[in-house]
Amino acid sequence: MNIRKKVTWTLPPGTNRYAALDLWVPAAEDEEWSDDEIQHVINEVVEAETDAAGLEVLAWYSKTM
């Protein structure tokens, strides 16, 4: 899936990738992302080898406020 959209949200410092997903998903839902798009990002974050890699995935699908 080739997603080019970005979610506007703020990642609190010191957050791991799973806690970050808990914040990112509602932000994506608020911006009317489809369930498939959200699930794709979740899969990428969970499959990342480290927290840092998972957070990089979220950074790709995010724009800073």
Tokens read off for 59 = 């950074």
What does pTM read for this prediction? 0.91
Instruction: Identify the CA nearest to 17 among candidates 8, 37, 63, 61.
Output: 61
Rg of the chain in Å (alpha carbons): 11
| pLDDT for the residue numbered 2 | 84
pLDDT given at position 6: 96
**Residue 49 three-state SS:** coil
Q: Would you give per-residue pLDDT tens digits along the chain (65 residues)?
A: 889 899 999 988 999 999 999 999 999 999 999 999 999 999 999 999 999 999 999 999 999 76
CA distances from 58 to 11, 35 (A): 9, 16
Q: What tokens does 1 get?
A: 């899936």
pLDDT at 65: 61
